[in-house]
Structure 1
Amino acid sequence: MAQKPNSTRSIFQEVGTDEKAVAAPKGGLIDTGRAGARKGIRAWLILLFAMVLLMIAVGGMTRLTDSGLSITEWKPVTGAMPPMSAEHWASEFEKYQQIPEYKLQNEGMSLSEFKTIYWWEWGHRQLGRTIGLVWFLGFAGFALARKIPTGWTKKLLFIGALGGLQGAIGWWMVASGLTGDRLDVASYRLATHLGLAFVIFGFITWYVFELGRSQTDLMQARRHKDAKLVTKATGMMHLAFLQILLGALVAGIDAGRGFTDWPLMGGQFLPPDPLSLTPVWRNFFEDAGLVQFMHRMMGYILFAYGMLVWIKGRKSANRSTQAAFNMMAAVLFLQMVLGIVTVLNGAPMHFGLAHQLGAVALFVAILRARFLSSFPKSQSVRGA
């Protein structure tokens, strides 16, 4: 008589499955065969992160040195080559002599002085082209090798599309200073250009954070997110972005050099004649006193709200999240102090650039705190 099969089932065995392990189908699990791709794409994005950071710094120097209008044409391809002969340099200088900035501010500038500002703008544009090339080669390489993880193709294409849009907006900005009676580019166009740079930088930063952990880890961590902290950090991110735009308006019209006392402006709370321009809306973009006043007031609001967010964040049960909000608060405090020092010294070039890079550091710190609120790192019960 045949022996009955053993009917005893292990408590760890799934009901209705064979005891033998079933091989997962290729591509059927998250991260299957994609671990290497995530690390490689993250390294590529870190390179883009560094290049965009450098781009923001070079853009700041281009503005602070009044170099942005030295190249009066937009030639995305042929413009990659700088002047290579005396005749070519003379031609570029002659084009610059036709715009308002030269006629109203730099008349009598020597060719040697022109070359200095030309190289700043050329370097700025060349760096933009290089960033575009690095993005294209990286994306094409990962796509052709079929190494882009599921769901990431659109994200990476989105970064490239924003980069292309940034180039067009850059020329739209420059074009505003080539005609009429402007000495510089339109401040609201400068704010748009810098704002989009921070949008690109922010998405790259977030993607680097995501790719630093496995998709499985992120899905598990999401179950423990602190929704209230995420909301507060999101508000902090939006306020910081608005402050960055106001800072661009300040830089666009050199408003940081108009009032060098603090906490008052010209000895009073409100700057004198804050609504003297017509129509009234122009004052919010072109009146140096009112623009600096708005930047100061938003700075106070950002700092006060940031302290409230920090108080909530430092109470998080997760140590990594606590540390992220502590870092955010420290950078916020240093950026506020640096802003005051910049004003008191009349916004010299080195302080202006440091203040702009401080905004970058603060933006990254806010994003990191928001990310760790959304995806807390696992910790032992003892560490909770």
Structure 2
Amino acid sequence: MSSSLPRYADMTPSHRRLISNWLFLLCFMLLGMIAIGGVTRLTGSGLSIMDWQPVSGFIPPLSHAEWERLFALYQTIPQYHLQHEGFGLEGFQRIFWAEWTHRFWGRLMGLVLLLPLIWFTIRGMITRALAVRLFVFFILGAMQGAIGWFMVASGFRPDSTAVEPVRLVLHLSAALALYLAILWTALSIRWPTPQVVAPSANGTRTKRLVWLALCLICITIIAGGFTAGTHAGFVYNTFPLMDGHLIPADYARLSPFWMNLVDNKAAIQFDHRLLATLTALSIGAILLVGLRSTNLGNKAHNAIMLLGWAVLIQYALGVTTLLLVVPVWAGAVHQTFAAVLLGVMLYTLHCLRGQRAG
């Protein structure tokens, strides 16, 4: 993520507002996509659609015969026999609509990106370089759909009722990477010129701490993906201790040791807790250092305060989700707000672009 390029400053203010609002809308839709994905995962709906039809999949089943065909396909996979056998067509329709909505939302996002992009390019409202960047985002979004199918296909293997955690993490990480890229571009178009402030030691430390927190939250989200993919949130539903221990007794039960990081529920949940706590502490350090710096500017100070509130909400959501044994609403909100916190952190970093080394 580089600093804003001069070409954004060359755009007219009205065009910058229009283009940035459009990209902010796409970011909001990505948050919706992450929320729907959370619901799909928590309700076990992701495997209900057995074929991948990027274009014709826009249209849901329109006849009873088509519903019967899709249900018959679903009855061929292990999840039906191991988890949903005998729940009938009506039960299948309930899980089908969650997954269909998830895929439909992704296709709709593609249109919301591509059609205005073509219009803005033809009208000369954006530069060629920006048009290329945004078209690359469209390609990456299409690839995200392919990654989604790659993830879903892993749930069709024998004796499986869910997708592979590694593929789930890949799908989530790709979505968040695209979200960050679009959000940074939108912020840079909206505010193309950084506010240059006088160098200060506290300002430099604040910027470094924000980078540290950004890295920590990304790792924490990845750990959260493994927590979700392995259903590790359904065990050790106490806080702050895990079965009476700060570190669970069976943390290192697998050999080689690295297997515990991706396949041991006790270790996976503990790692997610630890990383979340380190992230919260790093943001606490940002507050302590950043708010003491008097020359960051009001915008940066407000962003830092917003970051503090956001991490408190996210940490509380995580503990609530754990103690309630991961109800669908709490799990989906916790997953979505992780992306909100990540966005607030990126906004904070964007506000600190003008901070030079002190």
Aligned to 1:266: 243
Larger radius of gyration: 1
Aligned to 2:3: none
TM-superposition CA deviations, 1:93-123 (whole Å, max 9, x none): 1111111111222112211010000000001
TM-superposition CA deviations, 1:114-172 (whole Å, max 9, x none): 00000000010011001011111011111111211364233312321221221111011
Distance 1:253 1:243 in 2: 15
TM-fit CA distance, 1:312: 1.4
Mark the CA change 1:116 to 1:158 in structure 2 (over 3 Å): closer, same or farther: same
CA contact (8 A) 2:36 2:332 kept: no
**Structure-to-structure mapping, 1:41-190, within 5 angstroms:** 41-149=19-127, 151-190=129-168
Q: 2:352 aligns with which of 362, 365, 373?
A: 373
CA contact (8 A) 1:229 1:370 kept: no
TM-fit CA distance, 1:228: 3.9
Aligned to 2:172: 194
Aligned to 1:321: 300
**Aligned CA-pair RMSD:** 2.1
CA contact (8 A) 2:114 2:135 kept: no
CA contact (8 A) 1:237 1:366 kept: yes
Paired residue secondary structure (1:70): coil
**Structure 1: stretches of 5+ with no match in the other structure:** 1-27, 377-384
Q: 1:334 aligns with which of 285, 290, 313?
A: 313
Aligned to 2:338: 359
* 1:305 and 2:259 correspond: no
TM-fit CA distance, 1:61: 0.7
Mark the CA change 1:319 to 1:222 in structure 2 (over 3 Å): closer, same or farther: closer
TM-fit CA distance, 1:39: 2.2
Alignment TM-score, normalising by the size of structure 2: 0.90
Kindly provide the amino acid, as one letter, of the partner of residue 84 in structure 2: N
Kindly provide the amino acid, as one letter, of the partner of residue 80 in structure 2: Y
**Structure-to-structure mapping, 1:222-233, within 5 angstroms:** 222=196, 226-233=203-210
> Higher relative CO (CA 8 A, sep ≥ 6), structure 1 or 2?
2
Alignment TM-score, normalising by the size of structure 1: 0.84
Q: Which has the higher helix share?
A: 2
Distance 2:52 2:252 in 1: 36
Q: Alignment identity in percent?
A: 33
Distance 2:257 2:72 in 1: 37
Distance 2:85 2:7 in 1: 67
Mark the CA change 1:293 to 1:140 in structure 2 (over 3 Å): closer, same or farther: same
CA contact (8 A) 1:335 1:355 kept: yes
Kindly provide the amino acid, as one letter, of the partner of residue 371 in structure 1: H
CA contact (8 A) 1:38 1:149 kept: no
